[in-house]
Amino acid sequence: MSAGGFFRLDRPLSLAEAAEIGGARLAAPVAEEGVVIIGVAALDRAHAGDLSFYDRPRYAAGLRLCRATACLLRARDLPALPPGVAALIASDPHAAMARIMAALFPEALRPQSLFASSGVSPGAVVHPSARLEPGVIVDPGAVIGPRAEIGAGSVIGPQAVIGPDVRIGRGCSIGAGASLLCALIGDRVIIHPGARLGQDGFGFVLSRQGHVKSPQIGRVIVQDDVEIGANTTIDRGATRDTIIGEGTKIDNLVQIGHNVVIGRGCVIVAQSGLAGSCEIGDFVALGGQSAIGGHLTIGEGARIAAKSGVTRDAPSMARLSGVPARPVRRHLRGELLLDRLARRDGEPPC
């Protein structure tokens, strides 16, 4: 496996097993007995024993050179596969790959102890009034405050800080150096290193005589199966709660202001910013470096393009881009129009 070394193979999979797990089918019976998958790799890095996948024309050159044992791809791409590579036909090769990888490398589905710890490491500091269910792992350097509660099977990484009264559910992973204050965390939540939850929201009464700090006494509620990226910041509510809905996935370096309410199953790409008190419906997708203004409502299923700035409410299923954000097609028509006007003779279009 070219890219590896950090994750241990759980067990080899035969091609038939891999196909079944991935919801794929073998394009042809495999002649050789005992052909097994023992790793995964990108098309251009794979060799014997590896499984690879192909799902976009950009990587067609890699496909033609592929030396993997097997490759997941769509039926229409089969002719380009080199002989000697077993074809696993799937309607969504990437999804099939994810499922098979989960079987090969189950440890990679959830961050593990970084210190091969079991139980509370000697170097961790756990307040005597904190309550840890059986099977909680606490890595060296972690600090767990008074009355905090942590559910069975959760792993608290090195240098993570769990504040007073914080509750963490079962099967969670809290990354190295993350800090959780004033927070209630559901089950199976993954919080990556350096994420900051529950610090004061940015609330001030502005005045030339000095800005007056507005106390922030709400909480951060993180529902089940949420994932929160590295160095992302989520402020606690002012007089209500900041809420991250079930199954929502948040990338790195995202800013979520106080009182924000995010629905279920949202996808929020890196470096986005959600200003205070905005409400995001279920299954909304926010592109990288996008921004949602304060007190706005984004309807269910809306998609906001990367780098957009939303300045008014968006209806369900809206497709917006630009600053200020407008319907994607119209925004792009406008940019093309402007570019045509600015183009000089002989210049190619943008």
Q: How many CA atoms lie within 13 A of 206 on its CB side?
A: 1
Q: Phi/psi zone of residue 84: left (φ > 0), alpha (ψ -120 to 50 degrees), beta?
A: left
4 binds a second copy (CB under 8 A): yes
Stretch that binds a second copy, among 22-30, 70-78, 80-88, 211-219 (CB under 8 A): 211-219
Instruction: Work out how close the CB of 46 gets to a second copy at its nearest, in angstroms, rounded to a whole number.
Output: 9
Q: Which two tokens stand for residue 45?
A: 């890095």
Which of 49, 156, 235, 284 contacts a second copy by CB under 8 A? 235
Q: Which residues pair with 327 in a beta bridge?
A: 320
Nearer to a second copy (CB atom), residue 28 or residue 190: 190
38 binds a second copy (CB under 8 A): no
Q: Under a CB-based contact definition with an 8 Å cutoff, are residues 290 and 267 in contact?
A: no
Look up 295 and say whether it is catalytic: no
Helix, strand, or coil (residue 350): coil
Q: Phi/psi zone of residue 33: left (φ > 0), alpha (ψ -120 to 50 degrees), beta?
A: beta
Phi, psi of 96 (to 5 degrees): -65, -40
306 binds a second copy (CB under 8 A): yes
Which of 18, 40, 81, 189 contacts a second copy by CB under 8 A? 40
299 binds a second copy (CB under 8 A): no
131 binds a second copy (CB under 8 A): no
200 binds a second copy (CB under 8 A): yes
Which of 49, 151, 257, 281 contacts a second copy by CB under 8 A? 257
Residue with tokens 């097997």: 70
Of residues 87 through 106, those in contact with a second copy by CB under 8 A are 92, 94-95, 97-99, 101-102, 104-105
Phi, psi of 233 (to 5 degrees): -120, 130
Catalytic residues: 258
